[in-house]
Chain A
Amino acid sequence: MNLEAVREAVAHVEDPEVPVTLVDLGVVRDVGLADDGDVRVVLRPTRLACPARDEMARRVREAVRSVEPDAGVAVEWELSTWRGDEVSGRGTEVLLQIGYSDPGAAETACPYCGSTKVRREGAFGGAVCKVPFSCRACGSTYDALRGSRSLLAGAPHV
């Protein structure tokens, strides 16, 4: 078993909705070997009800078998709260480019103009993991991921 090759393959698996790898999103928590020799991949959902969980697991299994075709693969979901401040710098850069706020920032800001004069447009967006915002400076609408640091901290919004 070439575990480094397995880790490398899993590192390229992208989230089904945003073009960011699961590693950069902080969803992949561990890749290792179980006692029975199977590859064990631990994932943390952004929200328990994330509808993409099955697809994430399928992609992870596919990635492992792309380098270890005969490997058994156990995908385990961790019972932990996902945190936006664990998204990598590379992941954050992509999220900003596609219209999400910086998940690790202490204060939410418009991903298009950088203004912090923003307004939360409700508690629920188009998916369980999204919170809708609008920018009072440039008029853009954007989403914040629900586990973003600024939302976990309960920061006030204009």
Chain B
Amino acid sequence: MNQSIDVRGLSCPLPVVAVRNKLLEMKKGILEVLVDTGTSKDNITRMATNTDWKVEIKEEGEEYLLIISR
């Protein structure tokens, strides 16, 4: 089952830290992340790709859904 995490409204660096902790815990699988700022989207995408996770970005209105998988 896909896991999910909502980091909307959190200020830097909490979104990327929360996602990083979750990915370290999961080791593999799919994590859906709901993000509301470009900064968090960029930070999380960079962190995930640097640690060998694939990231798919879907724009949903003014928010983003990041689908992170390995």
B partners with A = no
Binding site for A on B (CB under 8 A): none
Binding site for B on A (CB under 8 A): none
